[in-house]
A = this chain, B = another copy of it.
Amino acid sequence: MKKPKSSEQDGPVEATRERILNVAARLFTERGFAGTSMRQIAGEASVPLSSINYHFGSKQALMESVYGRMLDSVGRRDYLDKLQAEAGERPLTVAEIVRAYMGSALRLTKKDSMSGALFRQLMARAFFEPGDPAESFFPAQFEKDTDRYKEALMRALPHLDEAEVVWRMYWFVGLMAYVLGGKDIMRMKARYGLPDADDPERILERMVPFVVSAMEAPRNPA
């Protein structure tokens, strides 16, 4: 019974600090940073308000810890390297690269106690949250990955110049962010009864041909 449990609900065993992080991650995801109060976090985590400040210092610092833990737990996303190693000299196909990137987003895995779904939504929220939430330390974490994907895509898409490849990556990344964290404000899922709507794994699988075809599109004639 020494090992801490992983759910946010397992109160007595789990460290106070962890419970705060878990609740904060969930509330920041659901309501945004400005829309979440320290008292709500304290209340739902069943800790006194002051313990949040004791452990983290301030609300801003708490959010940075939430994102920090998230980014730590991303772990090494070496899918692409593995693929490249297996392929040898052959350039990777667009489908392989797209699948690798989507897989890395999907398999953003809980380190300790954050559920995968929450984790992905929190990540996606960084793409839309106003202000400068993680904006300062977020990019550095991913610059190398971005570059590697860019290089792989340029080899796979020799008919496109670098700017066009990067634009398409940008749209691809944004589309992923929307799918994982956006709102179905037009209620399309419900109105048309879309299948697989609650299974991100299936959604991303559905998206593969869509995205691959987009990436391979001919250059704009204009």
Give me the interface of A with B, judged by CB distance under 8 Å.
30-35, 125-131, 134-135, 138-139, 142-143, 146, 150, 162-164, 166-171, 173-175, 177-179, 181-189, 191-195, 205-222
A-B contact pairs, 24 of them (CB 8 A): A31-B131, A32-B34, A35-B130, A127-B182, A127-B183, A128-B183, A135-B183, A139-B185, A143-B186, A146-B186, A146-B188, A170-B188, A170-B189, A171-B210, A173-B186, A177-B182, A178-B178, A209-B218, A210-B215, A213-B213, A213-B214, A213-B217, A214-B214, A214-B217
B131 touches A128 (CB 8 A): no
The interface residues of chain B lying within 8 Å CB-to-CB of A30 are: 130
In-complex Cβ contact of A185 among B126, B182, B183 (8 A): B126
CA A218 to CA B171, docked complex, whole Å? 20
- Least CB distance from A164 to B in Å reads 8
- Least CB distance from A175 to B in Å reads 5
The interface residues of chain B lying within 8 Å CB-to-CB of A218 are: 209, 213
CA A206 to CA B219, docked complex, whole Å? 9
A128 touches B186 (CB 8 A): no
CA A211 to CA B211, docked complex, whole Å? 9
CA A31 to CA B31, docked complex, whole Å? 14
The interface residues of chain B lying within 8 Å CB-to-CB of A127 are: 178, 182-183, 185
The interface residues of chain B lying within 8 Å CB-to-CB of A178 are: 127, 171, 174-175, 177-178, 182
The interface residues of chain B lying within 8 Å CB-to-CB of A128 are: 125, 128, 181-183
Most chain B CB within a 10 A radius of its CB, from A130, A150, A221, A222: A130
Given contacts A134-B185, A175-B178, A185-B135, contact A209 B205 (CB under 8 A): no
CA A60 to CA B184, docked complex, whole Å? 21
